Chains A and B, each alone.
Chain A
Amino acid sequence: MLMHEKKKNIFAAFGICLMIVALISVIIVSGRKKSGNMEYKSTGISMGTVLNITVYGEHGNESISDITSILDNLENNVISWRSKNSQVYKLNNEYKPGIPYEISSELAGYIRAAKELYEVGDGMLDITVRPLADLWGIEDGKNHIPDKNELEAALAKVDMQMLEITKDETYHEAVIIDDEALSIDFGAVGKGIAIDKVYEYLKKSDLKGACVSIGGSVVLYGEKPDKSSYRIGIKNPRGSYGEVMGVLELYAAKDGLFISTSGDYEKYFIKDGVRYHHILNPQNGYPADEGIISATIVCGNGLISDGLSTLAILLGYERILPVLEKYDADAVIIDSDMNVYITDGLTDNFILEDETYRVME
């Protein structure tokens, strides 16, 4: 009888133990699942470059596919100069010189913004630069160093001043191009337009936070679940692909924050010790040579951040500063001597990780 009771007690104790263990397991597993469920990530390819999406909130997977299709649609139907169904492709192939060509108000808005950057940037940021880019062939690996005649022929087809946005007689937006050889290529601002589009979507969503990067452009929105800052790595312009030279720690809030980087290291070739990169000066036809090898711009608009990052390479440090001020933008600019210049608004946010660079006070 006594033995029997003892056995019973042991079983009871064992049972209780099992229950406690099970309970603890459930708590641990569910806790982990909960925090894991909040974050959704995806890496893919869109607009000819890498698209990274991280969103915080419920229905994250739906948001990821929404964002992906927004960008595919923007590329294929609106701004790509390659895609036969895009508005830009049709415009490039159908317009007649001097005659208003009707375009969507969306496209008109992009062209207007690009035109403003053209004017602000002394004509250095020109979205009609395609013939020049084709001649050099840096994007497709043709890597041709053109002679003087070839450059002159290509430069004759590059002139943003030949392009004007008006309203036609029915008050629709239209573009008038006074030259028959012009073609529009949103290369310098396309990824910026993309993150603006993503931001419009994020603003309307019920997501708590997001970080979406496409190529060298990033939009930050809201906050992470743990309220920590977003860490944006700045690529090492003289390192191997994927290496980082420093980090920007940024908070975004719901207004969104836009970060774009351009540099001479993205697409280039080296011949006889000279680096020929893809950011071409529309005035002399050669790759920009103002001593800037990487420019990261942080501001409140994607198209502006993307455009200014390219413009910084084209204008150089001294000349980009007043432009940054005009747009209330901040920057991390690296020159060819590996000096890093940081504007006042970002000095507390930047952390140097690679000691071969020097932060200038």
Chain B
Amino acid sequence: MIKKRDIILAVVLIVIGIIMMICISLLRKTGNRVLVYEDGRLISSYELAEDGEYEIKTSEGSNTLIIEDGIAYVSKADCPDKICVKMKAISKTGENIVCIPHRLVVQISGDGQSEYDAK
């Protein structure tokens, strides 16, 4: 015997369930991460939302990665060309900073779409 009240209860529970699910999926998408690769190998990963200064050591040398206010950039490096230091700070999915002499790639990963397929 299903009464009207039961149906109301069921609807309420479904609504709660859906709300919870949305919350969970939103929480899971906590935002972008900063991934650091050496020679294609992931060597470290940080939250873009969490400020910090990190010394990235590779077999070729070291680069200083700064994450602040939702952007990431390389502030210092002992590579010969320093192009990684001159590169624009990154924050959007797919953007990256590359240090060719150190074979280092710093990349933003997230659920968003890349703005460009190539450049």
Contacts and interface: CB of A to CB of B under 8 A. Distances in A.
B17 A20 contact: yes
A211 B83 contact: no
B25 A28 contact: yes
A48 interface: yes
B14 A10 contact: no
A24 B83 contact: no
Given A9-B1, A234-B119, A45 B14 contact: no
A74 to B, nearest CB: 17
B32 interface: no
Interface residues of B, number: 38
B112 interface: no
A242 B117 contact: no
Interface residues of A, number: 43
Interface in B97-119: 97-98, 100, 103, 105, 107, 115-119
A110 interface: no
A163 B113 CA distance: 48
B23 interface: no
A10 B107 contact: no
Interface string B1-25: 1110011011001100110110001
B8 to A, nearest CB: 10
Interface of B: 1-3, 6-7, 9-10, 13-14, 17-18, 20-21, 25, 37, 39-40, 80-81, 83, 86-88, 90, 94-98, 100, 103, 105, 107, 115-119
Of all A-B residue pairs in the complex, the 10 with the closest CB atoms, nearest first, are A233-B119, A21-B17, A233-B116, A17-B13, A213-B118, A241-B87, A242-B88, A13-B10, A44-B40, A211-B117
Given A17-B17, A140-B80, A232-B117, 20 more contacts: A9-B1, A9-B2, A13-B9, A13-B10, A14-B13, A18-B17, A21-B17, A24-B18, A43-B98, A44-B39, A44-B40, A45-B100, A45-B103, A211-B117, A231-B115, A231-B116, A233-B118, A233-B119, A241-B87, A243-B88
